[in-house]
Amino acid sequence: MKKIMGIVLIVLAIVLGYNGVQKFQKSSASVKVLGLKIDADNESGQASAYIQLGLAVLALGAGVFLLKSER
């Protein structure tokens, strides 16, 4: 049972990590007009991306721990 939960947590970590990276990349944009560069940032999107990446790291750690535990 621990092995199955470990695999599920690792897959969840991969999904959360991918979604976090995608959300972080979409949270900022820049436009160059007449030689001026205009940047726009979505701070709430970045915060959400950081939370997802943090959860991905925790899920990955828990999954690896469950796979390595023998009992």
d(CA 10, CA 58): 10
Global pTM value:
0.76
> 22-55: per-residue pLDDT in tens?
888 887 777 787 788 877 777 777 888 899 999 9
HSE toward the beta carbon, residue 27, CA cutoff 13 A: 15
The yes-or-no verdict on residue 4 having pLDDT over 80 is yes
The yes-or-no verdict on residue 71 having pLDDT over 70 is no
